[in-house]
Amino acid sequence: MKTYKVKDLLNSTKPIDDVIVKGWVRTFRNNQFIALNDGSILHNIQCVVDFENTPAETLKRITTGAAVAVKGNLAESQGAGQKYEVKVTELQILGDSDAEKFPMQPKKHSLEFLRENAHLRVRTNVFGAVMRVRSVLSFAIHQYFQERGFVYVNTPIITGSDAEGAGEMFRVTALPAQNPPLTEDGKVDYKQDFFGKETNLTVSGQLEGETFAMALGQIYTFGPTFRAENSNTSRHLAEFWMVEPEVAFNDLDANMDLAEDFIQYVIKYAVERCADDLKFLDQRLFDEEKSKPQAERSELGLLEKLNFVLENNFKRVSYTEAIDILKNSKPNKNKKFSYIIDEWGADLQSEHERYLVEKHFKCPVILFDYPAKIKAFYMRLNDDKKTVRAMDILFPGIGEIVGGSEREERLDVLQEKIAELGIDEKELWWYLDTRRFGTATHAGFGLGFERLVLFVTGMTNIRDVIPFPRTPQNAEF
């Protein structure tokens, strides 16, 4: 007897005798019909129990959440709603589940409640679908870069550098929390720590990635990154996954082309391979939005929105143009923005980004040439000496999904910038070496993986697209 996945049974084109299928009971009706799910597909297979010839003891143990193994025959179903069902000849309870205590009851639970039960929420339709889509998207990312000859680089998780210079790092230490060794002037003596220096969890693999691009030509990283920013929003995680391609000899225009092509590819890949799950998530979003006032509902459904991104070019707009648009916008004039834009140089808040994308352009936008003052040290200075070759990609409903730039490849300009910001040049000696030996134009970007998954699944809180979210005050599981 062969063991099948529910997916194979549901997609079968003919009846099959003698199948084994294992999974978890979603519901059990009329002492007869088990809806069995094994995670291979959104849908359940109906297993029909011969209740007259099954001991009452066994029937009682077929409860929501229980793990069971079923032997039987795949046959055409007489009932409406499914083409095939399994006529059970033998049923074994693998693991009981107390129906009263099992938190995932066969009813609608709030996303908040499900977050508190993140270890079990993946047994629901919504989270099963989201996590399958997440998996397919991460495969698509590798596929895209591998097909194009990019080398996958595993940059370090523990590092001594603050790539973004934003100081939002989690310290890594092996020193005792109580009475750590101190220096003469009373500070913690990290010379005595595990690495002999201060270290932290990486906020980005970019700087190490650049050194690899300057040898292997085109590389990408895809790994976890950590930020101790205290932003308790639906777009921020303390631990998130980032994809960072870096390409030697690319300038900012080539960088934008790559980012746009890459994003469209991975979305298309998911649309093609996750049709079932996305159709379900499309309906979920529609149902959720029904309860909202008209003005807050999205104009497009999930699948319409994904197709829109595939069929339309991203709009490329300079920061300066964007500031003009924002200055003259209604919410700015009516003081509806929390941060009023009154001059060039202002950092854009997510309300501004969303206005540009959702109200003004109504399509994904690539903003470029930002003021040097609001961007990281490594971005290439433009001839105007005021702006840098930075780019952010803004998505409807998400805001910033990508941040990237052409890098400052001129050693003297980079050293000047580092000095200006008070960064210790000694910390970056190895980074500066790439500018000392065979420097060249190069560019890259970082895509926040969870923000991509948010967009593709139509979920609205980033905590719902990563298995076990880490956010301020929360590291359960």
Q: How far is the CB of 352 from Mg ion (least distance, A)?
A: 14
Q: How far is the CB of 444 from ligand 4AD (least distance, A)?
A: 5
Contact flags string 200-219 toward ligand 4AD, x per CB under 6 A:
----x-x-------------
Q: Where are the beta strands (DSSP E) in 1-117?
A: 2-4, 16-29, 33-37, 45-48, 67-76, 84-95
CB atoms closer than 10 angstroms to residue 38: 17
Find out whether 454 and 134 touch, Cβ atoms under 8 Å: no
Q: Considering the complex, state which of residue 364 and residue 444 has its C-beta at the smaller distance from ligand 4AD.
A: 444
First and final CA of the chain: distance in angstroms?
A: 38
How many Cα atoms sit within 13 Å of 43 on the Cβ side? Answer: 18
Q: Which two tokens stand for residue 146?
A: 């591998």
Find out whether 63 and 31 touch, Cβ atoms under 8 Å: no
Q: How far is the CB of 117 from ligand 4AD (least distance, A)?
A: 22
Find out whether 204 and 157 touch, Cβ atoms under 8 Å: no
CB atoms closer than 10 angstroms to residue 384: 10
The SS3 of residue 249 is: coil
Please state, in angstroms and rounded to a whole number, the distance separating the CA atoms of residues 341 and 347.
9
Binding partner of residue 451 among Mg ion, ligand 4AD, none, CB cut-off 5 to 8 Å per kind: ligand 4AD
Q: Considering the complex, state which of residue 128 and residue 446 has its C-beta at the smaller distance from Mg ion.
A: 446
Binding partner of residue 354 among Mg ion, ligand 4AD, none, CB cut-off 5 to 8 Å per kind: none
Q: Which two tokens stand for residue 462?
A: 């980033």
Check residue 451 for interaction with ligand 4AD (CB under 6 A): yes
Q: Considering the complex, state which of residue 84 and residue 240 has its C-beta at the smaller distance from ligand 4AD.
A: 240
Q: How far is the CB of 450 from ligand 4AD (least distance, A)?
A: 5
Q: Where are the beta strands (DSSP E) in 280-380?
A: 315-318, 365-371
Binding partner of residue 260 among Mg ion, ligand 4AD, none, CB cut-off 5 to 8 Å per kind: none
Q: Considering the complex, state which of residue 226 and residue 280 has its C-beta at the smaller distance from ligand 4AD.
A: 226
Q: Considering the complex, state which of residue 198 and residue 229 has its C-beta at the smaller distance from ligand 4AD.
A: 229
Phi-psi region of 217 (alpha: psi -120 to 50; beta: other; left: phi over 0): left
Q: Considering the complex, state which of residue 136 and residue 390 has its C-beta at the smaller distance from ligand 4AD.
A: 390
Please state, in angstroms and rounded to a whole number, the distance separating the CA atoms of residues 283 and 397.
17
Per CB under 6 A, contacts with ligand 4AD among 131-170 are: 163-164
The SS3 of residue 7 is: helix
Check residue 242 for interaction with ligand 4AD (CB under 6 A): yes
Please state, in angstroms and rounded to a whole number, the distance separating the CA atoms of residues 247 and 245.
7
Find the part of the chain contacting Mg ion (CB under 5 A) among 11-19, 270-278, 306-314, 399-407: 399-407
Q: Considering the complex, state which of residue 72 and residue 403 has its C-beta at the smaller distance from Mg ion.
A: 403
Question: Which residue, chain included where needed, has tokens 């990508």?
Answer: 402
Distances (CA, A) of 466 to 20, 241, 260, 318, 393: 32, 9, 24, 33, 21
Q: How far is the CB of 466 from ligand 4AD (least distance, A)?
A: 9
Contact flags string 429-448 toward ligand 4AD, x per CB under 6 A:
---------------xxx-x
Q: Considering the complex, state which of residue 190 and residue 265 has its C-beta at the smaller distance from ligand 4AD.
A: 265
Check residue 450 for interaction with ligand 4AD (CB under 6 A): yes
**Which one among 49, 237, 348, 456 touches ligand 4AD, defined by CB under 6 A?**
237
**Which one among 61, 87, 121, 236 touches ligand 4AD, defined by CB under 6 A?**
236
**Which one among 403, 444, 448, 469 touches Mg ion, defined by CB under 5 A?**
403
Check residue 404 for interaction with ligand 4AD (CB under 6 A): yes
Check residue 403 for interaction with ligand 4AD (CB under 6 A): yes
Determine the residue type at 333: K
Which residues are within 8 A (CB) of 72 and not within 5 positions of it... i.e. 6 or more apart? 19, 47, 86, 87, 88, 89, 90
Find the part of the chain contacting Mg ion (CB under 5 A) among 271-279, 314-322, 365-373, 402-410: 402-410
Gyration radius from the chain CA atoms: 27
User: What residues make contact with ligand 4AD under the rule CB under 6 A?
Assistant: 163-164, 204, 206, 227, 229, 236-237, 240, 242, 244, 400-405, 444-446, 448, 450-451
Which residues in this chain contact Mg ion in the complex, by CB under 5 A? Answer: 403
